[in-house]
Amino acid sequence: MTHAPQLSVVVPVFNEQDNVGPLLREILAALRGKVDFEAVFVDDDSKDGTLAALQALKAEAPELRVLHHVKQSGQSTAIRTGVKASRGAWVATLDGDGQNDPADIPKLLAARESADRGIKLFAGWRVNRQDSGSKRWASKWANAIRARMLRDDTPDTGCGIKLFERDAFLDLPYFDHMHRYLPALMQRAGWKTVSVPVNHRPRSAGVSKYNNLNRALVGLRDLRGVSWLIVRSKRTGVEEV
């Protein structure tokens, strides 16, 4: 594909050799014939057969592009790598574990078509979480604390399926774990965001890369940082004279 597609689907993956094939095929089923797109999978230096599986999939999917980190760098960096390499003006993201449903991408695109042009982020909202009880409990409290501190009016910032304008994303301050704060960061930049109910599924293969303790410790530090960014930001309109 040499021309610029309308949409780039960015999928960060780490040790997901059994999930990348089914997930890519669901992306193709959801989008082929509906929108001109590319699928950009970013392998974050997986230690299993993820990269080999992705390379083999290129034979059946001309829309597929595969990027590889030579050093493991985390999910936020993988997402940013994919967005920077994307050719579409708009980007949809999905987690690589298969819990997000690619069939929801057209729903996000439809929401964009009928929305205010000032809305630059359409964030998935997992109304029926398919995680363990402890993970749901931890997310509930994390979301409550985040909402109180950042006032981003977003019920579920941890959902991996999102649709946003590429240029607006690349204009945001970059830091590790920034993908968990996209609504607040977009609003800080002067854009509007909305949450769209989406499907959520149990993980069918592989294991989670996070636990509740490391999420909490990192999250508290990041919350303070994002709160500082919001307080210290300044925006103004610009006119050429």
pLDDT at residue number 205: 82
Q: Which two tokens stand for residue 65?
A: 């592009």
- pLDDT tens, position by position, 105-134: 999 999 999 999 999 999 999 988 765 566
CA proximity to 78, closest of 173, 11, 128:
11
Pairing label, strands 119-126, 7-13: unpaired
Neighbours of 191 (CB within 10 A): 18
pLDDT at residue number 218: 60
Residues of the chain short of pLDDT 70, as ranges, are: 1-2, 130-143, 206-219
pLDDT at residue number 136: 61
pTM over 0.85: yes
For 7-232, which CATH class?
alpha beta
Q: Which two tokens stand for residue 26?
A: 């669901």
CA proximity to 20, closest of 75, 71, 58, 62:
58
Domain boundaries, the chain: 7-232
Helix 20-31 vs helix 50-57: crossing angle, to nearest 10: 30
pLDDT at residue number 211: 52
Whether the CB-CB separation of 202 and 163 falls below 8 Å is answered with no
pLDDT at residue number 233: 86
- pLDDT tens, position by position, 51-71: 999 999 999 999 999 999 999
DSSP string, 174-188: P-TTGGGGHHHHHHH
